[in-house]
Amino acid sequence: MPCELILALDVPTREDAAPILRHLRGRLKWVKIGLQMFTAYGPNYVREVAGMGFDIFLDLKLHDIPNTVAKAVESLGPLPIRMLTLHTSGGGEMMRAAVAAQQKTNPKLLLLGVTVLTSMDAAGLAETGVTAAPADQVASLGKLAAGSGIRGIVCSPQEVALLRKTLPADMQLVTPGIRPADGAAGDQKRIMTPADAARAGSTHIVVGRPILQAPDPAAAAQAILEELSGAG
């Protein structure tokens, strides 16, 4: 299965997003709506973007006690979303509760377990009390997620090859931290090019600023799609 491109719609307002979505409509399948846009505009904005024909990845990174996360999944389940994130560091009980709620409310929804954020490196993890190397922490959390019934993982592309050796073959691996070869890293520390991420085994890549900040976002997205198509 070819690796798919997800646009991270991380812009300040829906007015900023509108021309980008208009130009990418019919060219791009996936759009990620994160905390910034969801907090500003709520569920109706999810419905609006889905109504334009996009598949929605709702990136809220849920992390709370098991009952609260389960109730949040139940509340979000009826929305027209295909993916939803939660933090694997919430533990097995929390993830199992989320999976049970997902199965009850939206069996087709893919829950994605976030492992180690791509903005973090070993020093950042150490500040939180985690002494393991990022790759080791990702592998540990990925194994915990898989054992809890989670069918997709969010990780840096640099950990994809490792996870492909340790997790079930049908696990979906969604990787932010993607930068074209000529792109700036920004605040991302564990990055990879689209083609390299696809070859490593990513099922989906998440790209934001290299598309959003391009003079022609549609052309930038098309270039990444073409890079992915040639990565086999």
Catalytic residue among 29, 61, 71, 143: 61
Angstrom distance (rounded) from CA 165 to CA 32: 27
Q: What is the per-residue DSSP string for 186-204?
A: TT-SS-B-HHHHHHHT-SE
Beta carbons of 199 and 206 less than 8 angstroms apart: no
Closest C-alpha among 164, 71, 67, 58 to residue 109: 58
What are the C-alpha distances in Å from 113 to residues 28, 107, 175? 24, 16, 12
Residue appearing with tokens 């640099």:
158
Q: What is the per-residue DSSP string for 68-116?
A: HHHHHHHHHTTSS-SEEEEEGGG-HHHHHHHHHHHHHH-TT-EEEEE-S
Task: Name the CA radius of gyration of the chain, rounded.
Answer: 17
Token pair of 87 as six digits: 């933090």
Token pair of 192 as six digits: 């990879």
Nearest-5° Cα angle at 69, 68 to 73: 120
Catalytic residue list contains 189: no
Just list the catalytic residues: 61
